[in-house]
Amino acid sequence: MAVELVNDSDFESKLKENNKVVVKYYADWCGSCRLFAPKFKRLSSDPRFEGTVFLDVNAETSPLARKIAGVTTLPYFGVFKDGKLVDSISSSKEEAVVELIQKLN
């Protein structure tokens, strides 16, 4: 499954439309965010996470989405189930993000 780019105008509807959602918050100036992008794309195609929607949100241009997850540093990841935030983490380590995503199962 592809990673979908969303912003404040469609963020909440994406959470409501999908049972399990993983969100990566990033900024264009964030080097760690850019380095994690291919890993996030690969995770979106991982069979372990079938049925999970992967979203990219620019934290600088989407203040509402950023506030919902309590984003403090970047890159930042949040997992949502049935529209509610389950957990979040600020990390550049793939293993930590995998553990976070697994909380949706």
Catalytic residue IDs:
30, 33
Q: What is the pLDDT of residues 29-76, one digit of tens each?
A: 999 999 999 999 999 999 999 999 999 999 999 999 999 999 999 999
Write down the pLDDT at residue 1.
73
pTM for this model (two decimals): 0.96
Q: Give the pLDDT score at 37.
A: 96
The pLDDT tens digits for 51-60 are 999 999 999 9
Name which of 36, 8, 4 is nearest 22 in CA terms: 4
Rounded Cα gap, residues 57 and 8, in angstroms:
8
Domains contained in the chain, number: 1
Q: What is the mean pLDDT of the chain?
A: 96
Domain that residue 41 falls in: 4-102
Determine the Cα–Cα distance for residues 86 and 63; give it in Å rounded to an integer. Answer: 19
Round to whole Å and give the CA distance between 80 and 18: 9
Predicted confidence (pLDDT) at residue 105 exceeds the cutoff of 90: no
| Continuous segment of H or E residues that includes residue 88 | strand 84-90
List the CATH number of the domain containing 80. Answer: 3.40.30.10
The per-residue pLDDT for 70 is: 95
